[in-house]
Chains A and B, each alone.
Chain A
Amino acid sequence: MNNWPHFRLEKRLTVPPWLEFLTLAVSLLLALVAIAVLFRVLGVNPIVAYQRIFRGAFGSLYGLTETIVKAIPLMMCGIGLSLAFRARVYNIGAEGQLLVGAICATGLALSRPGWPSWALRPAMFLVGFIGGALWALIPALLKVRFRVDETLSSLMMVYIASELVNYLVYGPWKGAKEMGFPYTDKFSPSAQLPRLLNTRIHYPTLILALVLAVLAYVLIQRTKWGFEIRVTGENPEAARYAGMNYFKTVLLVMLLSGGMAGLAGVGEVAGIHYRLRYPQGISPGYGFTAIIVTWLARLNPLLVIISALLLGGLLVGGDAIQVALGLPVATIYIFNGVILLFVLGSDLFTHYKIRLEWRRER
């Protein structure tokens, strides 16, 4: 009945923010060392590889702009996920919500090519948001109504979404002019998002992401809804006790994170490819990488911007080493995986210290 020892346990240590960042930095460093070792074992010169990655991502103007390009969907998904994860609602299906957002935007673009751009583009974002939100609604309802774990159900939805895209691009939406490739027709100019100068940065999406990051931060820190989200994530029992509606909170964060992933999808089809393509051609796992982005950013929507740029740079670096060293693009996933593992491990050292203290005291 008494949770007395539990509180005693944690009071032993205050974790000042600088220590948290230090632990994070150290774990990132350790991750890079581990990857270097791994590279060596697998016959790659790590110094050269790191150089190329860094140069590729940040060493040239092209690299920098491409980093931003890759960071946009990561940011968008990451911001949404930061809200969900704060409430301890683990939306793993952002990838699927992204694809559904892309589908909805494509549907609108293909069916209304004649609309003027000032109407079509915002409308595409709107339907993309709604599509992604609805796709996330299904796992949310399953959780609320049937107590199904959102992790597994949202994951399954990713594969359904993926097959849906395949169905559309090989079937009813197959581009008449595209000669058997799994693409739809190219969007009309009014559906194409404008780019910054001659880069691939589709700035409307970028601006939207930055604005949403700020809004999300304000939401979490300063509004009633944000308070409910934070309390729910800390202690769902206390949320009930305080008169909060747990289910409402779950639905809210799932809809928001799904919608934002949908926006990321819109950005990709309307800003980069100007068409819908087979799933991996739209998103090489942005929805999953966004999980790392959010985790690295400690669930803070503003910091997501930074960690999205970092991981975006990593993805660009992957392209770079493919060209320079002939390594497969998949190599970059090694970074993703190892960094995530080390960050997870470091999370724990914050807790472990506390536990050990307690044992000694006994």
Chain B
Amino acid sequence: MIVEFILLVLKAAIPAGTPLLFGTLGEVTAERSGVLNLGVEGMMIVGAVTAFGVTYTTGNIWLGLAAAALAGSLLALVHAFASITLRVNQVVSGLALTMLGLGVSGLVGKRFIGMPPRTRLAPLALPGLSDLPVIGPLFFRYDPMVYLAIILALVLWFMMYKTRWGITLRSVGESPATADALGVPVFQVRYLAVLFGGLMAGLGGAYLSVVYTTAWIEGMTAGAGWIVIALTIFAMWDPVRAMLGAYLFGGVRVLQYRLQPLGISPNLLNMLPFIFTILVLMLSTGEVIRRRVGAPAALMQPYTREER
């Protein structure tokens, strides 16, 4: 009974964590380049409404997903322009974009409220693995986006630590002056990273509206974007840890309702991710730990080539 319960929770945790994973992978990239993007919530919800709208109108779910990615990156472009070129306060700029995203999505999504989905995404059974006893049907028959997210996490991990692009990205976030002196186009790298962040946030939101729940509800991200911010820190800016963290946080969300009949308040459970994040923040700013797993040193600092 217990085992069954655990397995069921684990099974549900993965799709629950997938939108968080998309968002976090994007935010990790952006923050690794030194830009804090607090607009994730806005970009996710814009992605959600775009995906639903386009899918509903065209009947093609892949088109919807692509449009969502585009929408997310458009919003991110504004943030990039404000934070990188205009060197505005990144916190305030991100908040402004969240509000903008929430507003625009509410407006655009009005006509889609209550509409049934035109199409769904068929679950993809992984050959071989899905035939394993017990765990096969549980864990290897997810929709394709789940697998996409996992692949992206692994690819991003590889890119970040084993390729030239990764060194460039991380150096820009740690010490833009050093990178600049060596001819690295700091602004370009940051723009691309932030756009990628918006793209992924858009996909994360899209997942929510066309795969996870196939409906548009106003404000349906319900703070997922803020959880992404917390997750980025919790994952210590690492894509694979982001994957584990996303499923953990997703699991907590799923768990909250399962545990309610047992008398454990879902709300107290929901607090845990944020409390953990604060602990991570606390521990990771000590010099020793920061060197190993801490925030990119230049995070939130706009870069100016110093004029002499």
Q: Do chains A and B touch in the complex (CB under 8 A)?
A: yes
Interface set of A (CB-CB < 8 Å, partner B): 5, 38, 42, 44, 90, 92, 142, 146-149, 151-153, 155-160, 163-164, 166-167, 170-171, 285, 288, 291-292, 295, 326-338, 340-341, 344-345, 347-348, 358-359, 362
Cβ contact within 8 Å between B92 and A344: yes
B283 to chain A, nearest CB (A): 8
Cβ contact within 8 Å between B110 and A326: yes
Q: When chains A and B are docked, how far (Å) is the Cα of A359 from the Cα of B307?
A: 9
Q: When chains A and B are docked, how far (Å) is the Cα of A335 from the Cα of B108?
A: 15
Interfacial residues of chain B within 88-114, with CB under 8 A of chain A in the complex: 88-89, 91-93, 95-110
B267 within 8 A of A: yes
Interface code B142-168, partner A: CB below 8 Å = 1, 0 otherwise?
Answer: 000000000000000000000000000
Cβ contact within 8 Å between A332 and B271: no
B212 within 8 A of A: no
A105 to chain B, nearest CB (A): 20
Question: Which residue from chain B places its CB closest to the CB of A337 in the assembled complex?
Answer: B100
User: By DSSP majority rule, is chain B's interface helix, strand, loop, or mixed?
Assistant: helix
B219 within 8 A of A: yes
Known: A152-B233, A163-B270, A295-B92. A42 touches B108 (CB 8 A): yes
Interface set of B (CB-CB < 8 Å, partner A): 38, 42, 78, 82, 86-89, 91-93, 95-110, 218-219, 223, 226-227, 229-230, 233, 265, 267-268, 270-271, 274-275, 277-278, 281-282, 285-286, 300, 307-308
Q: When chains A and B are docked, how far (Å) is the Cα of A336 from the Cα of B265?
A: 35
Question: Which residue from chain A places its CB closest to the CB of B283 in the assembled complex?
Answer: A146
What is the count of residue pairs linking A and B with beta-carbon distances less than 8 angstroms? 149
| From A295, A327, A340, A345, contact of B107 by CB (8 A) | A327
Cβ contact within 8 Å between B223 and A159: yes
Contacts of A359 in B (CB 8 A): 307
| From B95, B270, B307, contact of A5 by CB (8 A) | B307
Cβ contact within 8 Å between B110 and A328: yes
B210 to chain A, nearest CB (A): 20
| From A156, A167, A334, A340, contact of B92 by CB (8 A) | A340
B107 to chain A, nearest CB (A): 5
Question: Which residue from chain B places its CB closest to the CB of A169 in the assembled complex?
Answer: B267
Known: A156-B277, A330-B219. A42 touches B282 (CB 8 A): no
Q: When chains A and B are docked, how far (Å) is the Cα of A139 from the Cα of B227?
A: 18
Q: When chains A and B are docked, how far (Å) is the Cα of A291 from the Cα of B92?
A: 8
| From A156, A166, A341, contact of B267 by CB (8 A) | A166
Contacts of A335 in B (CB 8 A): 103
Contacts of A92 in B (CB 8 A): 91, 95
